[in-house]
Structure 1
Amino acid sequence: MNFLGIDVGGTKVAWTLIDGKVHIRDCGKVLVPKSRSELIATLREITNSYEDIAAACIALPGVMSKGKLIKAPNLKFMEGFALKTLEREYSFPIYFENDANTFAYGEAKLRGFRDLIGITLGSGVGGGVIIGGEIYHGSGGAGELGHVTFRFDGERCSCGKKGCAEAYLSRQFFLRRSREVFGLSKEPEELFSLAKEGDERAIAIF
């Protein structure tokens, strides 16, 4: 009996297969496809690669409701797609959830917390809220911390608004700012290392 977890981000698709004793059986990652049909084909290919699956969970960035991705600034081509239709192809349940929610829920379960706020930093900025040991699914995109206004007349965010936290904390921000400052794109990890070494240009970006 195995369980499959697939994490779809703005940059990559990563997955892990675990057994009933939570031992990792397999894992992998690929670059995220650029169209809806390609991504769905990738999800099918990953899922069909394994046998004896008891359940699967597919986590995606954005606001979801009843198995449909409503708004996903970093995965716009998937907006409006009824993800639950994929479940009909398989004999086991497939759960669909916001990626930051799954992160927060996993941390709460493994660390024994009943109330927790989890923040994810990657292609975008996500947030998950755990109350009483359960994911909080409030109206209006509860937990979407990346689109909380950080500066009212600030940088333009991928969602279309100005000044969102994501506009200042996401991978794309650091790639763009490093191009402006260094003349070439640098990953956030590299910028962080430079800042720790005292590089004033990297420190200024942070």
Structure 2
Amino acid sequence: MTTNQPAAPPAGPVLGVDVGGTLIKAAAVAADGEVVARLERPTPPARDPDTVLSAVGSVVETLRAQVPDRVEALGVAVPGIIDEARGVAVMAANLGWRDTPVADLLSAATGLPVALGHDVRAACVAEWRLGVAKGGSDVLLATLGTGIGAGVVSGGRLLVGSGYAGQLGHTVVDPDGQRCSCGQRGCLATIASATAVVRRYAERTGGAEHPDGTPALSARDVAQRARAGDPAAAAVWADAVGALGRSLAIAVTVFGSELVVLGGGLALAGDQLIGPVQDSLDEWLTFQRRPRVVRAAMGAESGVLGAALLGRAALEETPVT
């Protein structure tokens, strides 16, 4: 005998918010992954949790007002050491946060269930569920921006490490190198981050800064100069590619990744980065599985989309797999 039961109401959208040092990016994402509304606002210069989270709450309420359907949940991605299970930002240096119960504070302010995630792991989830790594079971995403972070999927599961997993930028590639902000010397981030590429080029050329102290060039500018034959730019670029290949080889050896995805500002160089990194990585590998290196597909929205996916998974009480 068949029993007719009322159909479940359609799932409403989930909000994803990516809190960066410069911008707060937000989007309302439907259950099928379609972005139905977007919003960006500057991150407040005051880095105390109350000020920044108040700005996030304002973004959430503005976005909710733009969405006709009832918003189901909120996913938030932030940088630093993030304890996703407790919803706590253990340390988010560029936001000035330490042991901040982000999920509880935002849930109280918005009345929504809140899932907190790390920004790079959220970007990894977006590429894995919706982007270039869709369907993969062993994936490593590296974002090359102000710093370098990684998201790792192993055996079809996202690795979290109680918030400490994925610190690829702090693998040491030159023990006698420059002091890193973490206190170690010669970390990958001091050579191959977008920030490091600009700094190292300026050190070689005496490159100028704008009046406000910001670099006059971007990492993409340095890449273009390298391609045009500028010897200083070419040397800096080669150092970055070589260091990145070496660190990725270590990660691949540990995790057995079958696909390496490169995102962030440095990845805008496209084939000028992807091909050389593939070659550098292959040179360091012997018996290991040789992963394919590709450019991320989700672009600047990866953190927002990943945050929304984390929010949806928490709402449905399902793991992000």
Specify the TM-score bucket, using the shorter chain as the normaliser: 0.7 to 0.9
- How much does 1:47 deviate? 0.8
Q: 1:139 to 1:58 in 2, by over 3 A?
A: closer
1:98 corresponds in structure 2 to: 118
From 124, 146, 149, the counterpart of 1:126: 149
2: distance between equivalents of 1:173 and 1:193? 16
The answer to whether the 8 Å contact 1:2/1:18 transfers is yes
- How much does 1:145 deviate? 0.9
Rg larger in 1 or in 2? 2
Q: Deviations over 1:84-108 (max 9, x none)?
A: 2222223321111111111112222
2:59 corresponds in structure 1 to: 46
- Indicate whether 1:196 and 2:196 are aligned: no
From 97, 110, 127, the counterpart of 1:78: 97
From 19, 29, 34, the counterpart of 2:40: 29
Which secondary structure state, in structure 1, belongs to the residue aligned with residue 224 of structure 2? helix
The answer to whether the 8 Å contact 2:76/2:117 transfers is yes
- How much does 1:140 deviate? 7.5
Point out which structure has higher relative CO (alpha carbons under 8 A, 6+ apart).
2
Q: 1:156 to 1:9 in 2, by over 3 A?
A: farther
- How much does 1:24 deviate? 1.7
The amino acid across from 2:109 in the alignment is: E
Q: Deviations over 1:156-200 (max 9, x none)?
A: 222232222122222332332343322332111121122222222
Aligned residues: 205
% identical aligned pairs: 27
Q: Which structure carries more helix by proportion?
A: 2
2:244 corresponds in structure 1 to: none
- Indicate whether 1:161 and 2:184 are aligned: yes
1: distance between equivalents of 2:163 and 2:72? 32
2:30 corresponds in structure 1 to: 19
From 39, 61, 64, the counterpart of 2:79: 61
2: distance between equivalents of 1:88 and 1:105? 26
1: distance between equivalents of 2:98 and 2:194? 21
Q: 1:187 to 1:62 in 2, by over 3 A?
A: same
RMSD (Å) for aligned C-alpha atoms: 2.1
2: distance between equivalents of 1:150 and 1:84? 36
Q: 1:76 to 1:30 in 2, by over 3 A?
A: closer
The answer to whether the 8 Å contact 2:89/2:100 transfers is yes
- How much does 1:76 deviate? 5.1
Which secondary structure state, in structure 2, belongs to the residue aligned with residue 56 of structure 1? strand
The answer to whether the 8 Å contact 1:61/1:126 transfers is no
2: distance between equivalents of 1:77 and 1:70? 11
Q: Deviations over 1:105-146 (max 9, x none)?
A: 222223111221111111211111112322112258122111
The answer to whether the 8 Å contact 1:9/1:123 transfers is no
1: distance between equivalents of 2:163 and 2:112? 30
1:9 corresponds in structure 2 to: 20
- How much does 1:58 deviate? 0.9
- How much does 1:204 deviate? 2.3
The answer to whether the 8 Å contact 2:170/2:189 transfers is yes
Which secondary structure state, in structure 2, belongs to the residue aligned with residue 53 of structure 1? coil
Q: 1:79 to 1:164 in 2, by over 3 A?
A: farther
* Runs of 4+ residues over 6 Å off in structure 1: none
Q: 1:12 to 1:170 in 2, by over 3 A?
A: farther
The amino acid across from 2:97 in the alignment is: M
